[in-house]
């Protein structure tokens, strides 16, 4: 791991944006894997700022997102597609043809997963995958489980995740109970992984990245087997690591 402890959230976001921008400068047609949630918001804001300053262009990239809620259409206010559109894609000139997302609306779950798998296989490998981490150690929506699931699949969200995500909805009962997510194998195929964590609730989960134990009950622990992971955390998260 390359890992860096940043003084505060803004610094973490700036450092992350530098890594993303460098990737795109070196390879303008990079495939970038994006995450939603609160953690990368500062990173996306910084990328929007850099785009307006002409420090980075997203014209030739391809994007792949980790996950989507089952039952929410692209234009639903709480869909992850909409989140990405509002916070980044729509603000930096990314066209719909550049965007790849698992579909939350489908008749046949297996087919929906296969369709995303085909898109992922066609692209070969994601150059840079941005990840947040759940307090329970989930990455994407790969929740704690007895096994690692390799490919795109449907998951039941845990009560803890539903509660954590209820803040984006009017009421907890509106949070979808299922999501469609890239699997652990898809994430592990990325050439470079950039994991961000700033909230102290993530400290234990982040510690699992350094435990020496790979355990599907803490899905992020698999990242210890990846050859190229950058972990950027704030000091609130790092206190357990010393």
Nearest distance, CB of residue 78 and ligand F6R, angstroms: 13
Q: Is 234 in the site for ligand F6R (CB under 6 A)?
A: no
Task: Tell me which residue of 55, 48, 53 sits closest to 13, measured CA to CA.
Answer: 48
Task: Take residue 207 and report the two structure tokens written for it.
Answer: 């510690």
* Integer Cα distance of 150 and 26 in angstroms: 29
Q: Taking each helix axis from N to C terminus, what angle separates 9-26 and 41-52, rounded to the nearest 10 degrees?
A: 50
Distance of CA 105 to the CA centre of its chain: 20
Can you tell me which of 31, 139, 218, 223 binds ligand F6R, judged by CB under 6 A?
139
Q: Is 140 in the site for ligand F6R (CB under 6 A)?
A: yes
Q: Is 176 in the site for ligand F6R (CB under 6 A)?
A: no
Judged by CB, which is closer to ligand F6R: 57, or 158? Answer: 158
Nearest distance, CB of residue 81 and ligand F6R, angstroms: 11
Nearest distance, CB of residue 59 and ligand F6R, angstroms: 24
Can you tell me which of 42, 134, 137, 176 binds ligand F6R, judged by CB under 6 A?
134
Task: Tell me which residue of 214, 52, 227 sits closest to 147, measured CA to CA.
Answer: 214
Provide the annotated active-site residues: 67, 136, 138, 143
* Integer Cα distance of 22 and 175 in angstroms: 36
Q: Is 66 in the site for ligand F6R (CB under 6 A)?
A: yes
The order of strands in the sheet holding 67-69 is 67-69, 178-181, 153-156
Nearest distance, CB of residue 141 and ligand F6R, angstroms: 6
Q: Is 38 in the site for ligand F6R (CB under 6 A)?
A: yes
Which positions touch ligand F6R (CB under 6 A)? 35-39, 66-67, 132-134, 138-141
């Amino acid at each position: 791991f390359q890992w860096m402890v940043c003084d505060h959230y803004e610094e973490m976001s700036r450092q992350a944006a530098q890594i993303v921008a460098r990737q795109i400068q070196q390879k303008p047609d990079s495939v970038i894997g994006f995450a939603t949630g609160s953690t990368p918001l500062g990173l996306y804001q910084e990328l929007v700022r850099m785009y307006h300053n002409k420090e980075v262009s997203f014209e030739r990239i391809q994007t792949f997102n980790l996950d989507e809620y089952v039952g929410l259409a692209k234009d639903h206010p709480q869909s992850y597609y909409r989140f990405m559109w509002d916070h980044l894609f729509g603000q930096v000139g990314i066209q719909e043809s550049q965007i790849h997302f698992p579909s939350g609306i489908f008749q046949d779950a297996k087919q929906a997963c296969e369709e995303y798998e085909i898109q992922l296989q066609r692209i070969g490998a994601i150059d840079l995958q941005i990840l947040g981490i759940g307090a329970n150690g989930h990455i994407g929506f790969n929740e704690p489980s007895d096994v690692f699931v390799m490919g795109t699949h449907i998951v039941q969200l845990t009560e803890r995740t539903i509660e954590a995500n209820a803040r984006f909805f009017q009421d907890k009962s509106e949070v979808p109970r299922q999501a469609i997510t890239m699997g652990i194998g898809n994430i592990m195929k990325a050439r470079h992984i950039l994991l961000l964590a700033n909230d102290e609730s993530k400290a234990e989960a982040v510690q699992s990245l350094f435990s020496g134990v790979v355990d599907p009950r803490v899905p992020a622990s698999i990242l210890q087997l990846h050859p190229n992971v950058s972990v950027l955390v704030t000091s609130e998260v790092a206190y357990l690591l010393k």
